Amino acid sequence: MTTNLCGVYEAYSQIVSDCYPEAEASVKIRCAAYLNEYCRKKRVTISLADEHFFTEYFLKWLPYKVCREDRRVIDSFYTSADEYVRMADMLSGTSVQEKFDNLDRGVRYESVRLLLLKKAVMEYNNSFVISKLPCIIDFDRYKMKKMNASGDYECRSGLFRADSFFTGNSVVLSHINGEEYYIRLFFTERIMHLIEEGDIFDIKISRNSSGGKWVLDDINGCRSRWGTTDKWMKVLN
């Protein structure tokens, strides 16, 4: 199985390197690396993929795995996956492309929105995490975060749903896994433009010991209402 995964990824990387300009090829290969890792995590080859496999990849896995990728990479995830599947079919004689083509059209656009939303939140929060593939952090930002975290703070983490919006600069989030309570977080206009009612955030929040306002400390990932059926909520929890 591992050999098959490596074979498809290496073949795809070689083909795009030969057929596209260097900058464009590097973006496609970067996207393929995510899909290849996802196959490894799922322990299946791309030849066994179905609609659920791809929906979970775009709406669940990528919004958690991707941190602050370049916009060119974010915009290319779907088209690169399409090329990757077509090539895998050619190599193995399968017909996975038919299943990929059956994906709801909204998957592509919702995935981009979630990826841009998470990136914007991380940039707003001055997150020290740059990428999880490979794991890269900005050490200076990391040290600054640690310094700012010194003191007596109350910290909480979990899943929060965007319930309502105020004056275009803040959102009320309800905690949805465990104790029920509400928090209000302030964001930039760009972030507010990307957030939609019902979005779910996997975040860490903190406030000082005197009970001041909650502030965002870190974000792991986000999910849209579009994918929050009971089945999705079981995965989230």
What would the mean pLDDT of 188-199 be, rounded to a whole number? 95
Give me the helices (H) in 43-70, please: 51-56, 62-65
Residue in the block written with tokens 């929105």: 113
Stretch (H or E) spanning 166: strand 153-166
- Is the predicted pLDDT of residue 232 greater than 80, yes or no? no
- Measured between alpha carbons, how far apart are the two ends of the chain, in Å? 30
Report which of 78, 80, 87, 84 is spatially closest to residue 105, judged by C-alpha positions: 78
What would the mean pLDDT of 166-174 be, rounded to a whole number? 91
Share of the chain above pLDDT 90, in %: 67
Cα separation of 161 and 217, whole Å? Answer: 16
What would the mean pLDDT of 144-151 be, rounded to a whole number? 69
Longest Cα–Cα distance of the chain, Å, equals 64
Q: Which amino acid belongs to residue 198?
A: G
pLDDT digits (tens, 9 = 90+) for 205-227: 988 776 688 999 999 999 987 65
pTM: 0.87
Higher pLDDT, 217 or 150: 217
Cα separation of 4 and 88, whole Å? Answer: 10
Cα separation of 41 and 100, whole Å? Answer: 19
The one-character DSSP state at 125 is T
Higher pLDDT, 69 or 1: 69
Cα→Cα distances 48→33, 45, 93, 96, Å: 18, 6, 12, 7
pLDDT digits (tens, 9 = 90+) for 112-147: 999 999 999 999 998 888 888 888 888 888 777 777
Higher pLDDT, 229 or 85: 85
Task: Give me the pLDDT at residue 76, please.
Answer: 97
pLDDT digits (tens, 9 = 90+) for 89-101: 998 899 999 999 9
Report which of 97, 87, 79 is spatially closest to residue 14, judged by C-alpha positions: 87
Task: Give me the pLDDT at residue 64, please.
Answer: 94
- Is the predicted pLDDT of residue 202 greater than 50, yes or no? yes
Using 50, 70 and 90 to split pLDDT, how confident is the model at 149? low
State how far Cα 85 lies from the chain centre: 21
